[in-house]
Amino acid sequence: MTLASRELNGSLVFVFHRDFAEVLLPSLCGRLEQARALAMAGQAAEAGKKYQALLVSSQVLAYAVAIQAMAQYADRRLESGGQISSTQVKFASEAEPILRAALTEDPREIERILDAHPEVFAGWARLLEEWPVRIDDGAHKAEVAKVVWDIAFLVVATYEAAGAAAEIAGGGRPPIPPLPVFATAGGAVAASYAGPVTLEMAEVLRKLIALGVLDVGVVAALSHSLGGGVAPAPPGIPNALQMSAEPKGGAVPQGSSGNGQSPQTKAAGGAARANELLRPGGKLIGQAGSSSRIRILQGGRAEAEALFNQLVRETGATTITKPGLAGFAELPDGGGSIGFRTSSTSGPPTIDVRIPSLGIREIKFIP
């Protein structure tokens, strides 16, 4: 979610970006730290309230980022500014009371507000589904469908766990074993969108509900806002069972993408392998340099050359001699290219990476 928000740089979403990065996110991270501290100190009830608030907030913010991203794109596609603004205002008016209630950490208030807006999450999913159609862009529609799908899956995975735990806790039964949803590929997909923090919250939530610490009413209200025990998928989005059966990144709903291929499936096989090597488990290798797309690895020329050669070998890239570069290779099927320099003006050996959507431009090797 944080990474997605960093991509928001258009003028129409600038305020949202600034507020998200500078105000909301630090506040939520602070609460997460507090929740952890309380849980470690054995103050389960207080920790539970904070995790509960973070869970609701994270769902609202996941949609907020997706909708702002769509607003930015619509702006670039010359949709009328008034139309975009009115959509943003409508979303803000719906999201604001839920977020405000969540941040009170008061279970009764959260339950009340969720019960008062039972259709709100499904409505946002519909908005994301319909917006690309309005600006008549099939390619972006597929991207948005993927985002909605990820959010829907996150929500489904989280709430199914919470709902099941609530039922058990409400029935006075003992704590439950780990729920299957977290052991499936689906759990991994959920984690891939909002990251381990949300998964951690969901898991802690499950345990706390099972122990009778968390408020069952809030969890029940959350579940109702998604239409019951199994969240309704947005139009064109597979349901929880279908999604659980899919490997990570392996499918996008038919009819949304036009050709039924996800970005990863569309990417050449070489680029997909490069993704696995440079972004294992969705996490970029190494440490960030002066930006997240500059990665720092420990090593020298030998390590740099070894990684370059591994990339060439395992992606099936074709090496080409190019002046000024110690190595250069093009991935098959237009999947991108990589270059190798034994030194750079700042010193270290460097691999230049030009693979669309990977999120890495350069890898430096520092001893």
Partner 1 sequence: MKLVGDIDLDDIRKRWVAEGSESDLGLWWLADDVREILGADATEDEVRVITLRALRPLLESGTLRAVNLLEGGKFEMWPGDVDEQLDRIAEGWRATHDPGIGDVVWFIGPRG
Residue 139 lies near partner 1 (rule: CB under 8 A): yes
Residue 345 lies near partner 1 (rule: CB under 8 A): yes
Q: Which is nearer to partner 1, 80 or 344 (CB)?
A: 344
Half-sphere exposure of 134 (CA within 13 A, CB side): 18
Residue 343 lies near partner 1 (rule: CB under 8 A): yes
Residue 346 lies near partner 1 (rule: CB under 8 A): yes
Residue 258 lies near partner 1 (rule: CB under 8 A): no
Cβ 339 to partner 1 shortest distance, Å: 4
Query: Please, what's the b/e burial string for 188-223 (b: 16 or more CB within 10 A of its CB; e: otherwise)?
Result: bbbbbbbbebbbbbbbbbbbbbbebbbbbbbbbbbb
Stretch of 34-42, 49-57, 245-253, 342-350 contacting partner 1, by CB under 8 A? 342-350
Residue 134 lies near partner 1 (rule: CB under 8 A): no
Strand order in the sheet with 327-330: 287-288, 294-298, 362-366, 350-354, 337-341, 327-330, 318-319
Residue 76 lies near partner 1 (rule: CB under 8 A): yes
Q: Which is nearer to partner 1, 34 or 264 (CB)?
A: 264
Rg (C-alpha) for the chain, rounded Å, is: 22
Q: Which is nearer to partner 1, 215 or 362 (CB)?
A: 362
Q: Which is nearer to partner 1, 153 or 328 (CB)?
A: 328
Q: Contact letters (x/-) for partner 1, 10-29, by CB under 8 A?
A: xx--x---------------
Residue 215 lies near partner 1 (rule: CB under 8 A): no
Cβ 313 to partner 1 shortest distance, Å: 19
Looking only at Cα atoms, what is the longest distance across the chain? 72
Residue 266 lies near partner 1 (rule: CB under 8 A): no
Give the pair of three-digit tokens for residue 367. Answer: 């001893």
Cβ 351 to partner 1 shortest distance, Å: 10
Q: Which is nearer to partner 1, 242 or 346 (CB)?
A: 346
Residue 321 lies near partner 1 (rule: CB under 8 A): no
Among 294, 297, 319, 358, binds partner 1 (CB under 8 A): 294
Q: Which is nearer to partner 1, 139 or 245 (CB)?
A: 139
Residue 83 lies near partner 1 (rule: CB under 8 A): no
